[in-house]
Structures are given as structure tokens and as C-alpha cells.
Amino acid sequence: MSDTSALANKKALTNWPSSRLLECAEAHPHDIELLAFILGELGRRDVEVAQSAARRVSQLLNRAESGAAENPTAAAIERDGRLEHLRARLEATEQRLREAESRAAAAERALATEALPARSNGLLRRVHLAETAPAWLVDAARRAFRLRFHPDRFADPAMKSRAEETFKEAEEVFRQITTSHGG
């Protein structure tokens, strides 16, 4: 588990070993709220490692509190810097999300315009199977077609209707193949 996800979910910190909590505290020596939480968590534990870690976290907490009290301007500047860093990370994440959504939309459009298997060929050719395909391969191909052409995957009504048509046709082909195999 990463430190950033643990910071967002402090309940997860309660499951961490004492040494890992100390590492997290040392990685965030200026986060007074986090240090206080870790100190409280270590105080609830009855092992020597936790008591030793609690002493070190207490030192970090005292240093952080005295630093914030001595120089509130520097603390505010540091806090603003951290906020700016988080904003930049959020913006980069949003940009990656927009790019992923764009790629997904392009892939969905490409899938909608993809040529369906030709109707003039035999049943097995339309679902990309050989005449001697074993039953397990027929089942695997059926699952793959269901995943790829299931109408619920598409938001656009035109693509959804095309997927429904393809899905129904493939299901009919697979039903015929299954009955011809004797299953």
C-alpha cells in the first residue's frame, strides 16, 4: 500500500506494523495531523518496537509543532507549496483520464465500424472457428464474442443496435454449432 493512499485512509494505518508507521512518520515529518494520528496508534500498542517508534514520532511531532509555531510564514509557504504540488498532480491525472476516455471512445467507434464476419461463408467461419474445433474452444469463442459485442458495453444508440444485431447473430451461430456437435 502506498503512503499517499494510506494518508487518505487513516484506518488502513492501524493495520501497519510499528516499523512501517515510523517510516511513514519520517517520510512526512511536517504533517502534524498525521504524526499525531501515528503517535496515538503507536501508544495503543504494547510492544517495545511500538514504544520506541512512539518516542521517535513524538520527537518528530514536537519538532513539527515548534517549527510551525516559530515560523508561521515558512509553514504557510510550505503548505502552499504542497497544495500547488497536489494541484499539479491532480491536473496531470485529469489529463491522463481525458486521454484515456478519448482512446476508449476512438476504440468504441472503430469497433462499431468494424466489418462483421461475412454472411456468405459457413457458420464456423463467421465466428472464426474451424470445422474440427473442440467444444471447449467453441465455448471460449462464445465467451469472447459475448464480451466483445454485448450491447450493454455501448452507450451510443447506433453502436448499441449494431452490437445487438451482431450479438444475436453470433448467439444463433453458436447455438447451431453446439447442437451440431451434439451438446
Q: pLDDT by residue (tens digit) across 78-98?
A: 778 888 888 999 999 999 999
**Predicted pLDDT at 9:** 67
* Residue 7: pLDDT over 80: no
Q: Can you give the three-state secondary structure of 96-164, one letter per residue? A: HHHHHHHHHHHHHHHHHHCCCCCCCCCHHHHCCCCCCCCHHHHHHHHHHHHHHHCHHHCCCHHHHHHHH
Average pLDDT over residues 157-181: 81
Average pLDDT over residues 120-140: 71
Q: Find all residues with CB under 8 Å of 158, minimum gap 6, and list them.
A: 112
**Predicted pLDDT at 176:** 79
Q: What is the pTM of this model?
A: 0.37
